[in-house]
Amino acid sequence: MSLRVKGLTVSFGGTRVLDGVDLEVPRNAVFAVMGPSGSGKSTLLRVFNRLIEIYPDVRVEGEVYLDGADIFELDLQNLRVRVQMVFQLPNPIPNLSIYENVALGLKLNRLARSRRELEERVRRALERAQLWDEVRDRLGSPASKLSGGQQQRLVLARALAFEPEVLLMDEPTANLDPVNTAKIEELMVELKRELTIVLVTHYPPQAARVSDYVAFMYRGRIVEVGRAGEIFTRPRNELTERYVTGKI
Amino acid sequence: MSRRALVDKAGQALVVALAVLGALPVVLVIVDIYAKGIPAIARIGLVEFLTGLPPTPLDEAGGIGPALVGTLVMAVMGAAMGIAVGFPLGVYLGAYRHERLAAVSQSFINVLVEYPTIAVGLFVYAAMSLALPAVNPVLRALLGVEVSQFSGLAGATALAIVMVPYVAIFTASAYASVGRELWEAAHAITGDEAKALFVVLRKAAWRAILASFLIGTAKIMGETAPLLFTALGNDYYYASPHEYVTGPVGAVPLLIYYMAQTNYEVQNEVAYGAAAVLITLVLAVFVLARAASRR
């Protein structure tokens, strides 16, 4: 297993957002977490790279293992290199060029030993995100000049440059048009050969298209987990069935 | 015209009148200073005015050279010190604004920004009196220099204290205005909080931060009160550059303060010319700050 979660509970102030979550995410698969707004999907995702800890008044209990290692014992810098994230809104760093946006994380974490290696990793990341051909002649241009879809692929390249083991994707196509959505979805299917993807979506058809496994969350709990085909064709739980058929 | 349209027009006219009334004093001050200052500069020539010594009552003309050097030296030193303290403080206030200690610190900073700057000068004067007897023997032994009670260092320290709250407040505001998406992106890129705050988010908010540095610098360049008990003033150039740090130094606002009060026309003229130079410098820095924040 790539990720293993046992009895995970997360509270903000006095409000419990995740309530005893147990989950196992297999390696080299797209694992979709779906559920209605407020079900705790994004919070769960932010536990995997401990991004949750930047929020005040948060309390996390339970166990999460990455490749067998307790993530709460791991060095945070190391964890965030191994578990990268793509967000709902494209968030390249303003005032930086396309190249610098991809290179910055590598520099900060000293992941490239030479300028040549840095350039090579930036190029490879842009190629993997299928953006290289569109930006190869303007790497020094501001990232803000790119279209929304390109910016999201740039952020994906930024994450891929780390060569992570796990890629967290928090509704990465929520603000994209169908063409760009299709590109990102194609990439997910392609990328799972090399890494594990945990995809949060509140759009069941997307989970059906790209995922191998699906977990359905409702009000901070996992209602049902299984292979995507089973969840969408033979859901065991009535809530799951109502969700995938668009009734909740 | 309907009554509603009439009220609308009257309201618009009132707003425009108030705007003009608000801008009028600033415009009049600028016009008056340039009207009297430019002829004073022209009489001796710009280069001579910017480099010459201030006039004695018996001279026919004079310049502001030593004062201009003093202002630039103290502005650079004061800005460096003010930014060194104000920037990290602002990052803390912006990044941890939900924490109690940050909220308390913010209240103190808000008080400091309104604090009488002459009191800052007095504080530095007192601090220098206490510190120099202990510091000077060490400086003499290590560098062969001593710092005077009145010095460029004292002046720059007072200016830095004046600048800190400006930089801190504007920086905190720049960090607080960074959206949640960028905040998360910065921390996702690195698990090192310091790098996320001081590298990634600094780059993200750089224009607003740069504007805060420039506004703070413009503010201290025009300060007079904190220099009265610290820099003191000096009408002559020093032979050694380090003396601008260790000895009493002139400053353009101080020169204006002293020369505007005398009964000698030549000194009054130089005061106006100096004011024109100072206003130009400060306005230039403000324009840079505006450009930095707008780009």
Query: How far apart are the two ends of chain B, measured CA to CA in Å?
Result: 43
DSSP 8-class letter at B197 = I
Instruction: Please report the residues numbered 230 through 289 in chain B whose beta carbons come closer than 8 angstroms to any beta carbon of chain A.
Output: none
Of B114, B117, B73, B71, which Cα lies nearest the Cα of B225?
B117
CATH 3.90.1170.50 fits A3-91+164-244, yes or no: no
For residues B231, B233, B238, B242, the Cα torsion angle rounded to the nearest 10 degrees is 0
Query: How far apart are the two ends of chain A, measured CA to CA in Å?
Result: 31
CATH number at residue B50: 1.10.3720.10
> Above 80 in pLDDT, residue B294?
no
User: Could you give the strand order of the β-sheet that contains A15-25, starting from the edge strand earlier in sequence?
Assistant: A15-25, A3-12, A58-66, A69-70
Comparing CB atoms, the residue among A49, A104, A159 nearest residue B200 is A104
Cβ-contact B185, A91 below 8 angstroms? yes
Instruction: Please report the residues numbered 80 through 109 in chain B whose beta carbons come closer than 8 angstroms to any beta carbon of chain A.
Output: 98-99
Q: pLDDT value at position B2?
A: 87
Q: pLDDT value at position A187?
A: 93
Comparing CB atoms, the residue among A95, A96, A108 nearest residue B195 is A108
Cβ-contact A161, A137 below 8 angstroms? no
B115 interface with A at CB cutoff 8 Å? no
Query: How many Å lie between the alpha carbon of B203 and the closest alpha carbon of chain A?
Result: 7
At A215, the pLDDT band (50, 70, 90 cuts) reads very high
B189 interface with A at CB cutoff 8 Å? yes
Cβ-contact A108, B195 below 8 angstroms? yes
**For the residues A109-130, what does the mean pLDDT come to?**
96
Taking CB atoms and an 8 Å limit, are A95 and B184 in contact across chains? Answer: no
Cβ-contact A220, A19 below 8 angstroms? yes
Taking CB atoms and an 8 Å limit, are B187 and A51 in contact across chains? Answer: yes
ipTM of the complex: 0.93
Distance CA A187, CA A169 (A): 12
How many distinct structural domains can be found in chain B?
1
Taking CB atoms and an 8 Å limit, are B192 and A79 in contact across chains? Answer: no
- Please write the tens of the pLDDT for every residue from B246-289: 999 999 999 999 999 999 999 999 999 999 999 999 999 989 98
Exposure letters A145-178 (e unless 16+ CB within 10 A, then b)? ebeebbbbbbbbbbbbbbbbbbbbbbbbbbebee
> Above 90 in pLDDT, residue A108?
yes
Distance CA A38, CA A15 (A): 12
Tokens standing for A127? 């190629």
Residue B110 sits in which domain range? 3-294
At B193, the pLDDT band (50, 70, 90 cuts) reads very high
Helix (H), strand (E) at residue B134: helix B117-143
Distances in Å between the Cα of B228 and the Cα atoms of B46, B118, B148, B221 are 27, 8, 14, 14
Distance CA B157, CA B2 (A): 62
SS3 A213: strand
Q: For residue B185, which residues of chain A lie inside 8 Å, CB to CB?
A: 87, 91-93, 155
Distances in Å between the Cα of A234 and the Cα atoms of A230, A237, A241 are 5, 9, 8
Query: How many Å lie between the alpha carbon of A235 and the closest alpha carbon of chain B?
Result: 34
CB atoms within 10 A of CB A11: 16
Q: Is the pTM of this model over 0.95?
A: no
SS3 A109: coil
> Above 70 in pLDDT, residue B295?
no
- Please write the tens of the pLDDT for every residue from B88-109: 999 999 999 989 999 999 999 9
Taking CB atoms and an 8 Å limit, are A84 and B188 in contact across chains? Answer: yes
- Please write the tens of the pLDDT for every residue from A9-30: 999 988 999 999 999 999 999 9
Comparing CB atoms, the residue among B181, B189, B204 nearest residue A105 is B189
**DSSP string for A140-195:** TSBGGGS-HHHHHHHHHHHHHTT--SEEEEESTTTTS-HHHHHHHHHHHHHHTTTS
Instruction: Please report the residues numbered 150 through 179 in chain B whose beta carbons come closer than 8 angstroms to any beta carbon of chain A.
Output: 179
A85 interface with B at CB cutoff 8 Å? yes
Of B102, B130, B105, B121, which Cα lies nearest the Cα of B162?
B121
Q: pLDDT value at position A245?
A: 87
Distance CA A104, CA B118 (A): 45
Instruction: Choose the most confident range, by mean pLDDT, from A60-74, A171-185, B281-295.
Output: A60-74
Helix (H), strand (E) at residue B82: helix B65-95
Total beta-carbon pairs less than 8 A apart between chain A and chain B: 70
Distance CA B226, CA B118 (A): 5
Comparing CB atoms, the residue among B185, B187, B207 nearest residue A93 is B185
What residues contact B245, with CB distance under 8 A and at least 6 apart?
B73, B77, B147, B151, B152, B153, B156
Which class for B58: exposed (0-12), middle (13-18), buried (19 or more C-beta within 10 A)?
exposed
